[in-house]
Structure 1
Amino acid sequence: MEQDKALRDQLTKLMQGGQAFRPLDDVLQGITADDAGKEMHGLPYTIWQLTEHLRITLYDILEFSRDPDHVSPEWPEEYWPRESAPADQAALDKSIQAISEGLEAMVQRVQDPANDLYEAFAHGSGQNLLREAMLVAEHNAYHLGEIVVLRRLLGTWK
């Protein structure tokens, strides 16, 4: 039982960041809608597109892990927004808030000992909660790193 709690705690730390990569809130804090939509020469995405991609993907992973009837978006077109900029600051803030809430929901699933980390989902092809939690951590770390690079190029990273 002690090992189970230790694993759940480590998964939570991994998903929340702050060890090998900056936490989500640190990276997304203070981004303006104007900066989120700026295109950088040689890069195929904006901060807005990365933020929305994080939101959409996290929602998909979370729903897949808790709803056997969930239907994933079509890859890749439905995992990325078509527009390069948010409509306004409220749209950006809403996306960032949804990411934070989705991450917290995933953390709660992992922390709940009633959710077996190792049992394969009946509706999947061998996936389990452990795999999905690690996928969230890996995916977030990758794209948060890209956002940090974009913020550095824009001069908005501390």
Structure 2
Amino acid sequence: MEKEKALRDHLVKLLRGGQAYQPLATLLQDLKAEIAGKTVQELPYTIWQLVEHMRLTLEDILEFIQNPNYKEPTWPDDYWPKEKAPADQAALDTSIKAISAGMEEMIQLVQDPSNDLFKPFPHGDGQTLLREALLIAEHNAYHVGEVIVLRRLLGDWES
């Protein structure tokens, strides 16, 4: 039981970030819609597209975890926004808040000892809560790096 609690605690730290990479909440705070929609030469995406992609992917994973009747979205169309920029600051803020809420939802699932980290979901093909938590952490870490690079290239990040 002590080892399982330690694992859950480590997963929460990994999901929150800040150990080996910038925490997502810190990275996205004070992000402005004008910056999020700017393109950088030679890069195929904007910060907005990365943020929305993280939101859509997180929501999909949470849906998979919690819905036995889960239907997989179409890749890549349902995982990436077509618009390069948010409609306005409110759209960007809504997306960021949804990511924050989704991350807290995932953290609650991981922290709840009644949720077996190792039991495969009956509606999946071997996926477990542990696997999905690691997938979210890995996915976010990858895109956090991209957002930092974009913010730096756009003169919007100094840390």
TM-score range, shorter chain: over 0.9
- Structure 2 unmatched runs, 5+: none
1:70 deviates by: 2.1
Hey, what does 1:38 align to over in structure 2? 38
The amino acid that maps onto 1:117 is L
Structure 2 Cα separation of the partners of residues 31 and 71 of structure 1:
32
- Structure 1 unmatched runs, 5+: none
1:69 deviates by: 1.3
Residues 93-124 of structure 1: per-residue CA shift (max 9 Å, x gap): 00000000000000000000010000000000
CA RMSD of aligned residues (A): 0.6
Residues 100-153 of structure 1: per-residue CA shift (max 9 Å, x gap): 000000000000001000000000000000000000000000001100000000
Written as runs of structure 1 = structure 2, the 5 A alignment for 1:68-147 is 68-147=68-147
The amino acid that maps onto 1:33 is A
Structure 2 Cα separation of the partners of residues 44 and 83 of structure 1:
12
TM-score, length-scaled by structure 1:
0.98
1:20 deviates by: 0.9
Hey, what does 1:151 align to over in structure 2? 151
How many percent of aligned residue pairs carry the same amino acid? Answer: 64
The amino acid that maps onto 1:77 is D
Structure 1 Cα separation of the partners of residues 148 and 139 of structure 2:
14
Structure 2 Cα separation of the partners of residues 149 and 139 of structure 1:
16
Deviates more, 1:61-70 or 1:140-149: 61-70
Written as runs of structure 1 = structure 2, the 5 A alignment for 1:57-72 is 57-72=57-72
Structure 1 Cα separation of the partners of residues 24 and 102 of structure 2:
12
Large movers: runs of 4+ above 2 Å: none
Q: Secondary structure at the match of 2:78?
A: helix
